[in-house]
Structure 1
Amino acid sequence: MKQKISDKVAERLQEMLKNQTWTAGDKLPPERDLAKQLGVSRPSLREALQKLVCAGLLTTRHGGGTFVQEKNQVNFIDPLLNMFQEQTEAKFDVLEVRHALEGTAAYYAALRHTEVDRQRIQHCFDYMIEMHGSPNPLDEAKADAQFHLAISEAAYNPVLQHIMKNLFSLLENSITHNLDKLYTLPKVFEPLSHQHERMMNKVLERDADGARRAAQEHLVFVGESLQQIERAESRKLHAVRSLPTL
């Protein structure tokens, strides 16, 4: 299949990031100048930039341009990451927090999103579907996290954005662990993708109550599915321990 121009542009931009043409926190040149520099149309450039935003390499600021994503340096996250890595039950604590935050984020995103947000959310959803089955599970985890964060950013609540961005590492860690477990269930990708699509559609339709319900129902499904897996694993472990020793 012929590679899209925007995909080629995205690859070229990634090379420029690797070669440190721009570093963390730098603002990219205006679209008009960057498109001219790369010798491509502005629509192709815009689509490529959205792909890199969805991949977590770039970030946009409303009315402020596109920037190279900065690494999370907030120290208060470190103890939470350690707890999550050491305590298996912590993933359910993360889901409880996400249930509260993302339900609220989806509600206000439905009320406040702009046309730019609509495009970003749709791009992030498409990219997440594209990343399904990637050889590196982290690619899919990052795409999943970026989809959820695109919705939270469209809520235009500075406090919520600050919390969600500083929880990004934990959120990404949570999703990685969840995917490792969830995709062992038969036909799990289909319901998850439908839930993500419903969440997106409710936001884009400006159905605030529906968006909040869709986000919360998605996270309830994730939690119940993980509990189902853990029960199955516990029964399997019990059965192994019950085998007579030779």
Structure 2
Amino acid sequence: MSVSKRLEEKVLSNAFNEGDRLPPERQLMEEFGVSRTAIREAIAELAGKGLLETKPRHRPIIRRQNYGNSIESFRNTLDNLLTDDDGLKSLYESRVFFESALVRHAALNAKKADIDNLRQALNANKNAIGHTEQFHATDIDFHRVLYDIPGNPIYPMIHNTFVSWLTGNWRRQERGADINRVMYAGHEAIFEAIVDRDPEGAEKALERHLQIAWDYVRSVMLQESA
């Protein structure tokens, strides 16, 4: 068994609690019978997995691996990618890919309670058309319901990752009732296809909706760079 695997088992054992510090390197060297270099390489590997938090001149801190840590790592990676047009386009394409599957799933599997939640979010979105900040919040809520429907706890966290970028982008845009009406119409088309149990129609409505949103974002970005 590799040093990193043995150290990982030790970190995940009941011997440590969240926030405990790893034993000194020399103690680990003696315990595992390996060199300082091997210990440091193992520590670096576990830090990459989110199991250890490392700081210069301090012993590593134990971090329990969980959904939140993993998504936070994913969000940090996204932040590094979203610094150019290629990164932004990749985010858009990822969202289309993911939400296309979500609306198809909703059309085929949504329960009455899911439909009711989606209808409530849609109505709130409609009522907020004349209020930009409120419309943004209800826009997020509508899409959040789509991420909630499958019942997978990871999906809402992925939605939060998308939202973390979208919120900053929204605040840079001057949005009026006209573009809000267009965005609402997209939500309405998605909802109606889901209610009709039409997965193909739901996917097409979602793709049209996100394409319009992307075109608007790109136009604003081009104006800012001009």
Shift of 1:157: 6.5
2:195 aligns to what? Answer: 204
Q: What does residue range 97-136 of structure 1 map to in structure 2 within 5 Å?
A: 97-134=94-131
Residue of structure 1 aligned with 2:165, choices 171, 174, 180: 174
Name the Cα RMSD after superposition: 2.8
Shift of 1:233: 2.8
| Correspondence 1:76 to 2:73 | yes
Over 3 Å counting, the alpha-carbon distance change for 1:184 and 1:127 in structure 2 is closer
Q: How far apart, in 2, do the equivalents of 1:167 and 1:231 lie? A: 27
- Relative to the length of structure 1, the TM-score reads 0.55
Whichever residue aligns with residue 101 of structure 1, its letter is F
Whichever residue aligns with residue 220 of structure 1, its letter is Q
User: Which ranges in structure 2 are unaligned for 5 or more consecutive residues?
Assistant: 1-66
Q: How far apart, in 2, do the equivalents of 1:149 and 1:102 lie? A: 10
Whichever residue aligns with residue 120 of structure 1, its letter is N
Q: Is the 8 A contact 2:147 2:156 kept in 1?
A: no
1:218 aligns to what? Answer: 209
Q: Is the 8 A contact 1:129 1:193 kept in 2?
A: yes
1:150 aligns to what? Answer: 145
Over 3 Å counting, the alpha-carbon distance change for 1:178 and 1:201 in structure 2 is farther
Over 3 Å counting, the alpha-carbon distance change for 1:143 and 1:218 in structure 2 is same
Q: How far apart, in 2, do the equivalents of 1:217 and 1:170 lie? A: 22
Matched positions, count: 158
Identity %: 16
Q: Is the 8 A contact 2:190 2:206 kept in 1?
A: yes
- Relative to the length of structure 2, the TM-score reads 0.60
User: Which ranges in structure 1 are unaligned for 5 or more consecutive residues?
Assistant: 1-70, 236-246
Q: Is the 8 A contact 1:132 1:140 kept in 2?
A: yes
